[in-house]
Amino acid sequence: MTTVSLGMPEVPPPALAERRRSRQINVGGVPVGGGAPVSVQSMTTTVTADVNATLQQIAELTASGCQIVRVAVPSADDAEALPAIAKKSQIPVIADIHFQPKYVFAAIDAGCAAVRVNPGNIKQFDDKVKEIAKAAADAGTPIRIGVNAGSLDKRLLEKYGKATAEALVESALWECSLFEEHGFRDIKISVKHHDPVVMIRAYRQLAQQCDYPLHLGVTEAGPTFQGTIKSATAFGALLAEGIGDTIRVSLSAPPVEEVKVGIAILESLGMRERGLEIVSCPSCGRAQVDVYKLAEEVHAGLDGLPVPLRVAVMGCVVNGPGEAREADLGVASGNGKGQIFVKGEVIKTVPESQIVETLIEEALRIAEESGAELPEELRGLGPTVEVH
């Protein structure tokens, strides 16, 4: 038989491009750039001067998987709190400085892992670069040049008319050049915009014009749903091109949610080992159970599971057995019953009312057999689980 070439390559190219080669910086022990795994960061929402509240939130962020945390330093009281926070935080702390160059020195002296400056916002910043570069170099403290569409340099706003991708990039590279004049290159850059299209264009340009590690962010992305979509879309596009060394999802929601979304984005792209993954069908007219409810209950019951586990929750026998067989654990439902699959084999059939508890029990058994230490909230849930 003659085969007709459709012009398709025989071996499709990998979905993700090779990572862009960036120089590496060290943010308090977390390597950023230079091929290091993409790290997830967030920012506290507490008043930084309230040391206990800030450390409490940092502890919550650490527990959720956050690797680097940023704290805002708008006042002298906040700057004074930095030594205690930097010392007691379990993860590296970045001081976020707008308006006052003197707080940059305070943050470096306080032992912060890095300092973020926004050139558009720091008064007389350009005159202070020499001193900042020296203090940062002496202490081994990296600097993030963080340009934001909302606070772009007036000069560039006038030149470009608005915060275009070109304007954001020019602002960032201009500030980098001021540091470079003093031999300082321990820098990472962000060029954030609320519009993912502008943001993607800006980071693409930046990636071509320098080798600094890049901190990805869609700024003011909005409430959880919208912010998640915007961040996932923009980060996904860039990370698939190999661009991006650390990420911060910005949501109008508690910062732990930002971390969860950031980690999920990396997991979806295969850049992190996946944790719990629910493969559930969208349901349709053939569904014989309430798939939404089942999927939600299984997800809620296994939230925080510390092992990679794919659980298929399928509504009928059309695709159900196939997907359930492919997953580590799954159910194919029908006629008021659920066929439970473990590693491709049907292990039992249970009434619909017991599907959720059986899946949770089996998932915990698999996790325990793998030697994983279960978090407290999942311990003892096994056979006695109650699902409403």
CB of 33 to ligand SF4, least distance (A): 42
Q: Which of 14, 19, 1, 80 is nearest to 246 (CA)?
A: 19
Q: Using CB under 6 A, list all residues that contact ligand SF4.
A: 281-284, 286-287, 314-316, 318-320
Complex with ligand SF4: residue 233 or 319, whichever CB lies closer: 319
Complex with ligand SF4: residue 315 or 330, whichever CB lies closer: 315
CB of 381 to ligand SF4, least distance (A): 27
Q: Which of 305, 281, 282 is nearest to 359 (CA)?
A: 305
Complex with ligand SF4: residue 42 or 333, whichever CB lies closer: 333
Complex with ligand SF4: residue 323 or 362, whichever CB lies closer: 323
316 known member of a binding site = yes
281 known member of a binding site = yes
CB of 288 to ligand SF4, least distance (A): 7
Rounded CA gap, 358 and 241, in Å?
41
175 known member of a binding site = no
Alpha-helical (H) ranges within the chain are: 51-63, 76-88, 101-110, 125-139, 154-160, 165-180, 196-209, 224-240, 255-268, 291-302, 320-326, 355-369
Rounded CA gap, 159 and 155, in Å?
6
CB of 312 to ligand SF4, least distance (A): 10
Q: Which of 219, 205, 98 is nearest to 148 (CA)?
A: 219
Rounded CA gap, 20 and 213, in Å?
9
CA distances from 222 to 137, 253, 342 (A): 36, 9, 40
Residue type, 354: Q
Written as six digits, the tokens of 30 are 């977390």
Rounded CA gap, 267 and 263, in Å?
6
284 known member of a binding site = yes
CB of 338 to ligand SF4, least distance (A): 13
Rounded CA gap, 94 and 29, in Å?
12
Complex with ligand SF4: residue 92 or 321, whichever CB lies closer: 321
Q: Is 73 helix (H, G, I), strand (E, B) or coil?
A: coil
CB of 252 to ligand SF4, least distance (A): 33
CB of 360 to ligand SF4, least distance (A): 21
DSSP per position, 294-319: HHHHHHHHHTT--S-EEEEEESSTTT
Residue whose tokens read 């971390």: 259
CB of 313 to ligand SF4, least distance (A): 9
Complex with ligand SF4: residue 153 or 323, whichever CB lies closer: 323
Contact 331, 348 (CB under 8 A): no
Complex with ligand SF4: residue 150 or 336, whichever CB lies closer: 336
Residues annotated as binding site for [4Fe-4S] cluster?
Answer: 281, 284, 316, 323
Residues annotated as binding site?
Answer: 281, 284, 316, 323
